[in-house]
Structure 1
Amino acid sequence: MKLKKIINCFMMAILLIGLLAACGSDETAGSGEGKDQIKIGAAMPVFDDKWLSYLYDGITEYDEQNDNVEVIMVDAKNDAGKQFSQVETFIVQQVDAILINPVETDSLGPMVDAANEAGIPVVVVNRQPDEEVMKNIYAYVGSESLEAGTIQMEKVVELLGGKGNVAIMNGTLGQESVVKRTQGNKDVLAENPDMKLVREQTGDYQRALGMTVMENWIQAGDQIDAIVANNDEMAIGAIMALEAAGQLEGKVIAGIDGTIDALQYVKDGKLNITAFQDAYGQGKGAIEAAVKAVNGEKLDNNFINIPFELVTEENVDEYIAKWEK
C-alpha cells in the first residue's frame, strides 16, 4: 500500500510540473462560465465491448446533436496506466470537463486528483468510485449494483419457490459491480434458509469463460438448480454449456445488463431473468452532467442513479424495443 502511494505521488508530481505552464495561460480553464464551445475528454476503458458500445452511443449522439459540445473519446484498451496517460493529455489540452469510465475503480484517485489540481471537473460513469473519490468528483452517473443483485436473486427465489441450490458466477474480481451485485445476491440468500449457495467462481464477465466454468460445474456433478451470473454474457455461456450437456431444462438462469443478445435468450425461454441496465441512458446522463459541471450548475446529490429494471419473458418485448430505437 505504501509503495502504491509513493508511485501515485510520483506520477502526480510529474504531471503537475507539466501543467504549470498550461494552467498559467488560462486561469479559467474548467470554469465553463460564458463558454460558447465546450470541449469534453471522455476516457473509456475499452471500445471492443458490446454493452459499453451502447453507453458510447449515448455520449456520441449527444455530441452530434449539440454543436457547442465537442467530445474527444479515447480507448484505454483495458490498461489502467494507459488511461491515466490519456487523462494527463486531456488536462494538458485544457478540456473543460473529463468523463471517465475507469478500467479499474482503484486507479481513479490519482486521475481525479490531477484533474482537480488543474481546475477541471470530473464525471465518472458506470463504475462507481469509493466514498473518498466520490467526494472529489462532480458526479457519478450509473446504476446501483447492489440493487441489481438484489432484484435478480429475489426473482430466482420466487421461481424456485424459496428452495434450491444456487451457483454464482462472479465478474472481473475487484470491480465495484462484482462486489455489490454478489453482495445483493448473498443478502437475499441469507434471508431464505432453504436456498443454498453451492458454487461460486469468476467467469471474468466473459461468455467463453462462463461456458468453461459451467462445464466444470457439470463435470463436478453437484445438484444446481439456479445459475446466477453477474452479467448476461456469463449467463449465456452457462446456457450454452448446459444445452450442450442436455441439462438446461428445469434450470433457472439469471443475468444482469439486458443486452440485446440476452433479451433474445429471454424471449426464447432459455434465460429466465435479466436486470436491464440502461447503457444509453448512462452515457447520455454522463455527458449531460459534464455539461452542467462546465456551466457551474450545482447538484443536490452527485450520485445520478439510472435504475435497474427486472426483465422476464412476460415483459421482454418492451426492452427489445428499446434497443431497436
Structure 2
Amino acid sequence: MKYKLTKFIKKKDFVRLTSIAIFLLGIILVVWIGSFYMPFVKQPVKIGSTYMTLNNSFYKTINEEVKKQVSQNGDILYTRDPGLSVSKQCQQIYDFIDKKVDVILINPVNGESKQVQHALKIAHDRGIKIVVVDSQLSNSSFVNANVVSDNFKAGVLDAKYMMKSSPQAKILVLRHWNALSVKERYRGFVSEIKNNPKYQITENLETLGQTDVALKNVQELLKADPDKFDIIMAMDDQSAVGALAAMDALNLHNKIMVYGIDGSTNMKHLLLSNPNAQATVAQSPIKLGQKSIQVCYKLVKGKKVSKDVVVPVFLLTKKNINDYDVSGWQ
C-alpha cells in the first residue's frame, strides 16, 4: 500500500514538473518569436526640439506645426526651452543623446557657439540627424539640413522700402547679434544702403530679440537725444514692438519710422494703428515648422534632402496690410 502511494506521488510530481516545463518552454518560444518579429514592428520616431527661447510666439508656432505632425504619426517629441542660455541648450542636446532620439531639431541660441557645435557633433557622430531651423550655425559640416527664411532678402526688402519712403535717414539698428539669421538680414540691409551717403547707420543696439530689452534700451537713447535718429530698423518684430512702446511712452508720434522683420501678429496690428510703424518683412513660422518636420521624417527614412531649404519672405506695409490676415502668423 505504501509503495503504491509513493508511486502515485511520484507520478503526480512528474506531471506537475512536465506542465511547468511546457509552460516555460511556451514563454521562451513566445519571447523568441517576438524578438524575431520585433524589427518589423514600427518603433516610434523620437525627435528632440530646442529653440533659443519659447518666450516668442514665432518659435512656439514652429513647434506647434512640428508637434501636430509628430502626434498624427504616433511618434515622440521632446521640446525644450533654453531661455537664451548656451549652457542650457548644450545640456538639452546631451539629454536628447541620452534619450536616443532619431533627430535633433534646433534653433541655436548662438550660431557661433563652439559649445553648441561640439554637442551637436557628438550627437551626429552617434547617428542622430541634425536639422537647424530659422538660424544657421557658423559650422554646418555635421548638419543634415538647414530650414530657413530668405533672411538676406528680408533685409533687402526693408532697405528698399525705407529708401523709397524716406529721401535720407539716420538709422538706429536693433539686433540680436548672436543669431546668424539676424546677421544675414543685416548684411542684406547694408548691401542696399552702403553706396548711398544719404542713409547712415549711426548706431547698432543689442536687444537679444526681446521686447522688454528693446523698450528699455531705446527709451534710454531717445531720452538722451530724441533727434539722433529718424529711422529705427529692427532686425526682428519683437525689438520693433519694444521700440514703438518706447516712443509711445515718450509721446514721440510721427517722428521716427520703425521697420521690423517677422510679420508677427503684434506688428501687423501696429501697422494698422501706430503712426510710427512703417513696415515689416513677413516670415512664415507655419511653413518653417511644416518644412522642418518633413525634412526630419525624410532623414529618418534615409531619403535625400537638400542641405538648405529656403522659405520665401514678403513685405507688409501700411499700404498693403489690409490685404492680409492680421489675426495670426502666416
| Change in CA separation of 1:37 and 1:318 when aligned onto 2, cut-off 3 Å | farther
- Residues 194-238 of structure 1: CA deviation (Å, up to 9, x unaligned): 212223222222222222333233222434221111111221222
Once the two structures are TM-superposed, the CA of residue 34 in structure 1 deviates from its matched residue by 8.8
Alignment partner for residue 126 of structure 2, among 98, 102, 118? 118
Give the equivalent residue in structure 1 for 2:321: 316
Give the equivalent residue in structure 2 for 1:80: 86
Partners of 1:217 and 1:93 in 2: CA distance: 47
Give the equivalent residue in structure 1 for 2:35: none
Classify the secondary structure of the residue corresponding to 2:262. Answer: coil
The equivalences for 1:280-319 within 5 A come to 280-299=286-305, 301-319=306-324
Partners of 2:148 and 2:45 in 1: CA distance: 23
The equivalences for 1:1-325 within 5 A come to 35=42, 37-67=44-74, 69-105=75-111, 106=113, 107-130=115-138, 132-133=139-140, 135-161=141-167, 163-171=168-176, 173-218=177-222, 219-270=224-275, 271-299=277-305, 301-320=306-325, 323=328
- Residues 14-37 of structure 1: CA deviation (Å, up to 9, x unaligned): xxxxxxxxxxxxxxxxxx999553
Unaligned runs of 5+ in 2: 1-38
| Change in CA separation of 1:266 and 1:39 when aligned onto 2, cut-off 3 Å | same
Identity %: 23
- Assess if the C-alpha contact under 8 Å between 1:33 and 1:295 holds in 2: no
Aligned length: 288
Classify the secondary structure of the residue corresponding to 1:102. Answer: coil
- Assess if the C-alpha contact under 8 Å between 1:150 and 1:188 holds in 2: yes
- Residues 95-133 of structure 1: CA deviation (Å, up to 9, x unaligned): 222211222222432122112221111111111112x32
Unaligned runs of 5+ in 1: 1-31
Once the two structures are TM-superposed, the CA of residue 280 in structure 1 deviates from its matched residue by 1.8
- Assess if the C-alpha contact under 8 Å between 1:33 and 1:294 holds in 2: no
Partners of 2:326 and 2:251 in 1: CA distance: 31
- Assess if the C-alpha contact under 8 Å between 1:256 and 1:274 holds in 2: yes
| Change in CA separation of 1:78 and 1:65 when aligned onto 2, cut-off 3 Å | same
| Change in CA separation of 1:76 and 1:213 when aligned onto 2, cut-off 3 Å | closer
Classify the secondary structure of the residue corresponding to 2:147. Answer: strand
Partners of 2:231 and 2:329 in 1: CA distance: 30
Partners of 1:194 and 1:321 in 2: CA distance: 33
The answer to which structure, 1 or 2, has the higher relative contact order (CA under 8 A, 6+ apart) is: 1
Give the equivalent residue in structure 2 for 1:14: none
- Residues 74-110 of structure 1: CA deviation (Å, up to 9, x unaligned): 2223322222222222222222222112222224321
- Assess if the C-alpha contact under 8 Å between 1:43 and 1:83 holds in 2: yes
Matched residue type, 1:266? L
Once the two structures are TM-superposed, the CA of residue 257 in structure 1 deviates from its matched residue by 0.8
Matched residue type, 2:321? V
Please tell me whether Structure 1 or Structure 2 has the larger radius of gyration of its CA atoms. 2
Classify the secondary structure of the residue corresponding to 2:325. Answer: helix
Partners of 1:282 and 1:118 in 2: CA distance: 26
Classify the secondary structure of the residue corresponding to 1:214. Answer: helix
| Change in CA separation of 1:46 and 1:234 when aligned onto 2, cut-off 3 Å | closer
Partners of 1:71 and 1:111 in 2: CA distance: 19
Partners of 1:244 and 1:92 in 2: CA distance: 49
Partners of 2:235 and 2:244 in 1: CA distance: 14
Classify the secondary structure of the residue corresponding to 1:320. Answer: coil
- Residues 139-192 of structure 1: CA deviation (Å, up to 9, x unaligned): 01111322221211111111113x222221222x33212322222222222132
Give the equivalent residue in structure 2 for 1:21: none
Classify the secondary structure of the residue corresponding to 1:323. Answer: coil
| Change in CA separation of 1:167 and 1:35 when aligned onto 2, cut-off 3 Å | same
- Residues 281-301 of structure 1: CA deviation (Å, up to 9, x unaligned): 1122111111110001112x3
Once the two structures are TM-superposed, the CA of residue 303 in structure 1 deviates from its matched residue by 0.7
Normalising by structure 1, report the TM-score.
0.81
52-61 or 180-189, which deviates more: 180-189
TM-align CA RMSD: 2.4
Normalising by structure 2, report the TM-score.
0.79
Once the two structures are TM-superposed, the CA of residue 59 in structure 1 deviates from its matched residue by 1.1
